[in-house]
Structure 1
Amino acid sequence: MTQQDKPAVVCVFCGATGGNDPVHLEAARGLAQEFHKNNVQLVYGGGTTGLMGEIARTLVSLSGPKAVHGIIPVPCNGNGNGTPEQQNGEGKAAERVVAEAIDEAGIPESEYGITTIVPDMHTRKRLMATKVMEGGKGSGFVSLAGGFGTIEEVMEMTTWNQLGIHRVGLVLVNINGYWDGLLAWVRNAVKSGFISGGNGSILAEARDVAEVWPKLVEYQVSRDRMQLNWGEE
């Protein structure tokens, strides 16, 4: 199968909680509907709660379980006896509890798609990125609202783009100005000379979920990104 024939694979970073404003859960459902319309496959962190669970469950209901691939580290896949933050559903690691036996193929399909269990966070992020880079035209990274873990994932993939490790699009879904602070920081970093003007556009902004797919398909890499040889990265 050629790159042109492959379906797009989009990794979505987002919170394991729904936040205080239902508009963010609505955005997760709306983004899943956009993915369904455009035959996009979802890769995400494997959670069943909050925005993570909402986008996965919605896309499975529309496109079937093979359209969703959750990737979760073993420590996040425990028996529910996590930290107080995890027990209250407030932490990034408040994710799926799996009762079934685990094998190399992951776990059985469910209303949240197919899940692969990995040993640690680094393996998780690398595998998510690999799945995206193996996808067809329009593949990339998208962020809905989230907390520390979400912004860390977004900025790592932004850095990878700047370093020349990948050349796919990155889109912030800026519902109700949620990411205004981050975008203002980028503009200030460009103004202050810590980020080049070209690299200041690595992160694209979508004010509505309907804008996400066109921005991924039309994404242009920065003229200022580094031309480094990463071998098998």
Structure 2
Amino acid sequence: MLPIAIVQHVANDGPSFFATWCAQQQLPVQVYAMHDGATLPPSMAGHSGLCILGGPMSANDPLPYFPQLFALIREAIALDRPVIGHCLGGQLISRALGGTVQASEHAEIGWSSLRSTDAALANEWFGPDTEPVFFQWHGESFSIPAGAQQVLTGAHCRNQAYVLNNRHIGMQFHCEVDEAKVREWIIDGHQEMQERNSPGVQRAEAILPTLSADIAASQVLASRIYTRWARGLQR
């Protein structure tokens, strides 16, 4: 089977549980560490799917590799090779498809309870939980691109997830987190957590006491998302 291409933008936002899940399913992956000087593949010919991770930059920034990444996203979709975007990744997919990225209604840091906007589609991708809880860390959000269907919404940020052609998914949240990643982010982003004046921002003391249990519950949901997404992989 061809490997899944994973685009990583920064050192502290790696594939984490997504990579763990792929290893459990014996799905090969190839990480393109853009922060470490990697070059994106010229096409999707050598990959079964495309996973795009998060990062602190804006999807509107003029990063030199963004135009090629937009082209890869559009190629993958044209070839029906599944694309999945986490946070910045979901924003980049939206932009590649003609959507926009702008300041979110409220910044979000920490756990957020969401609700479905399309019950049947949400059940297919996220399972029967009508108010799934995911970890967030963002100040911008995407519009729902043309042809895609909104699946989840939230109290502090309206557009939380969309599905395109029932094969590709863009998410504003971080379902790929593991405990180590969240703990690292809390250390690295401590000042941001203190300075953000938003009803969607939690402090470290609200996150850390139940982190292990919350991560376990999140990864159950993430496994459902990844299992549904992986049905479209070119095997």
Larger CA Rg, structure 1 vs 2: 1
Normalised TM-score (structure 2): 0.40
Between Structure 1 and Structure 2, the one with more helix by share is 1
Between Structure 1 and Structure 2, the one with more strand by share is 2
Normalised TM-score (structure 1): 0.40
